[in-house]
Amino acid sequence: MTTNGGISPQDAKYALETRDMHVYYGSFRAVKHINLNVERQKITALIGPSGCGKSTVLRSFNRMNELVPSARVEGKVFFHGKNLYDSNVDPVEVRRRIGMVFQKPNPFPKSIYDNIAFGPRINGWQGTKADMDNLVEQSLRASVLWDEVKDKLKESGLSLSGGQQQRLCIARALAIEPEVILMDEPCSALDPISTLKIEELMFELRRQYTIVIVTHNMQQASRASDNTAFFLMDNDRAGTLVEYGPTEQLFTNPQDKRTEDYISGRFG
């Protein structure tokens, strides 16, 4: 996929790099001084107590924060060496390359097929009907939903169970062939079995995609991620990145006292 003045993929160790990023809502600084490198084709978990700014950081990766009129991002977020917040970068292209799965499953009130076909269609799909059928199947297979829905592609996406809906949303995000998938607490509304399925799916997807996941569930972070970033609210109520490193190290041998307190369940 080529673009003019946009972002073009290249091989690098990091998919996303933030440099001294601050996010403001109006005059309120929600997160400050974020320096975080997201490794390619790894799962990076963002953990921390409520209100510490993990979701805000996640949403600044695909410029979803801009949907809040008062939100403002300072600093830089590099994606393949290109600052996502440069004036010549179109947020539409950013979101096309960095997909997102939300906390609550939010399929469109359309058929399962159309839920997946929507993304490619609005992004200027040029293939035939057969190509689209193929893409829908591939996306549903990639999100391990195909076997459950292959006979009812024309039924509403809303007719599925919560866990299936969330996998449909993942399939929908995969259909536009992003490089990074952002997941904002994708399992918080799901039962343990559906949660497990999503986690297995994440491991599958890691081969091809870079995944950043926000989670409240520390077990989930420890079993389903390669790297973990721990956020905490500072005294001025702005979220900061306390510690970032390989998940195993962060959970077994945290360098910061606050991280240790949090993961051992002493607060939060």
Residues that bind other proteins (CB under 8 A): 62, 64, 67, 69, 92-93, 95-96, 99-100, 102, 104, 106-111, 118-119, 122-123, 154-156, 158, 169, 172-173, 176
- Shortest gap between Cβ of 135 and other proteins (angstroms)? 14
In this structure, the number of other CB atoms found within 10 A of the CB of residue 192 comes to 9
**How far is residue 176's CA from residue 18's CA, in Å, rounded to a whole number?**
24
Return the number of the residue (17 or 184) whose C-beta is nearest other proteins.
184
- Cβ proximity to other proteins: between 14 and 118 the closer is 118
Indicate the residue among 90 and 256 with the shorter CB distance to other proteins. 90
256 closest CA partner among 55, 37, 47, 30? 47
Measured in residues, the chain has a length of 268
* Residue spans of beta strands (DSSP E) within 192-262: 210-214, 227-233, 239-246
Most distant CA pair in the chain, distance:
57
Amino acid at 259: T
**Residue given tokens 């947020």 in the structure block:** 91
Between 95 and 167, name the residue whose CB sits nearer to other proteins.
95
Q: How far is the CB of 30 from other proteins (least distance, A)?
A: 18
Q: Which amino acid is at 264?
A: S
Of residues 180 and 233, the one with the C-beta less far from other proteins? 180
Backbone angles phi, psi at 266, to 5 degrees: -80, -25
Q: What is the nearest approach in angstroms of other proteins to the Cβ of residue 244? A: 25
Q: In the complex with other proteins, which residue's Cβ is closer, 123 or 138? A: 123
Residue 77 neighbours by CB under 8 Å, 6+ apart: 16, 17, 18, 19, 21, 60, 61, 83, 84, 85
In three-state secondary structure terms, 8 is: coil
In whole angstroms, how close is the CB of 156 to other proteins at the nearest point? 5
Q: Given the complex with other proteins, which of 42 and 96 has the nearer CB atom?
A: 96
Closest approach of other proteins to the CB of residue 204, in Å: 21
Are 34 and 57 in contact by the 8 Å Cβ rule? The answer is yes
In angstroms, the CA 164 to CA 223 distance is: 22
Nearest distance from C-beta of residue 261 to other proteins, angstroms:
34
Per the listing, tokens 């998940």 go with: 247
CB 2, min distance to other proteins, A: 15
